[in-house]
Amino acid sequence: MNELPNHPEQAAPANAAGPALQKSPSHPSHGGGLQALLRPLPLAVAALAVLLAVQTVTSHSRINTLRRDMALSLQKGNAVNAETAALARDVADTAKELQIKVGVLESRQTEAQTQQLALEQLYQDLSKNRDEWALTEVEQVLNTASQQLQLAGNVQGALIALQNADRSLGRSDKPQFLNIRRAIGADIERLRAMPALDLAGVALRLDAVIAQVDALPMLSDEKPLLPAASSRGTRQAQDTATPQPLSLGARMTQTWRNWSQEMWDDVRQLVRVRSVDTPEALMLSPSESFFVRENLKLRLLNARLALLSRNEASFRDDLRSAQEILLKYFDTRAHATQAAQSALRQVQANNLNIEMPTLAESLNAVRNYKAKQ
């Protein structure tokens, strides 16, 4: 603001104008009032200038303060924006991971639901077909037991199979199976009423005879008996048991008696007379004797196989041939041969011609029930 001049030179024109105005005859009152009005004007202008200066300084200060505040606010805003952007990126990454995990969980849930549906369907199928499967299993067991019963005569195996089948049907606790269980029970009672045949015991006896074949004495292996040795030992024992002194005549008599007895025993061993129905049995060579023993073993083994397969005709034919071989080529006076013949007679006394029942009643009951389904 321009202040009014206070110098006399500057105020001179005004004073010069004052007298001119004062000299004006036409306006004497107006000149004094104007001068009165112009006197406080510099003070007002100065005050106004001061006020304007103060206001300007204050405005500049406020503007600078606002600028600083705005700068700080902008810095804080930028920092907040940077943090917000970082958080936004983290949230976006986390959201992507969560989406991937949610997708995996959804796929697993879908797979689990599919498996659950499949299991439920399977359980329903099992519950529906459980009776049919049980009957199929029972039928298979009965077929196997029937075959074993007819081919090998395995009565105990057939009984076990029938009992297992009855137990399996009993677990179902269905009244529809009563007819089948009744037929199985009838077959079980029929098998229990059959005469028992100890096939294992008979086979063990045949095995014992086979093991003794190599030790059985043959006619071609005949050797002289030695009764002289035993009699000499007896006489020597008597001589040592009676050590009392004898006279010369008595000693000579005893010596002569012992010498003659020994000579007689030796002569008696030189010639032996024995009646043999098959003289060729005495003329077997060692190799022929070996083949005779092997032939006897083969016959007994065939008899054992026929026993286990319940072939009555082959069993008895092989045992008959074995008995003939024993009578023809082996020494029947020996205790071992007699024991073998006795064991073969006991084995031959067993009756294998036992008609085995069939399990047709149980099988027909199962098949008729399945046909009605």
Domain boundaries, the chain: 130-196+357-372, 197-222+278-355
CA separation for the pair 83, 72 (Å, rounded) = 16
Residue pLDDT, tens place only, 91-141: 988 888 888 988 888 888 888 888 888 888 877 666 666 777 777 788 888
Burial of 80 (0-12, 13-18, 19+ CB in 10 A): exposed
Q: How far apart are CA 298 and CA 304, in angstroms?
A: 10
For tokens 């040795």, what's the residue? 229
Whether 27 has a pLDDT exceeding 50, the answer reads no
Measured distance CA(158)–CA(194) in Å, rounded: 12
Return the axis-axis angle of helices 360-372 and 41-151, rounded to nearest 10°.
140
Q: Please state the pTM of the whole predicted model.
A: 0.42
Q: How far is the C-alpha of 49 from the C-alpha of 317, rounded, in Å?
A: 158
pLDDT at 347 over 80: yes
Could you identify the residue written with the tokens 């020494």? 331
Output the six-digit token pair for 89.
């990126």
Q: Tell me yes or no: is domain 130-196+357-372 CATH 2.60.40.
A: no
Place 301 in a pLDDT band, splitting at 50, 70 and 90: very high
Is 80 exceeded by the pLDDT of residue 32?
A: no
- The answer to whether 353 and 364 are in contact (CB under 8 A) is no
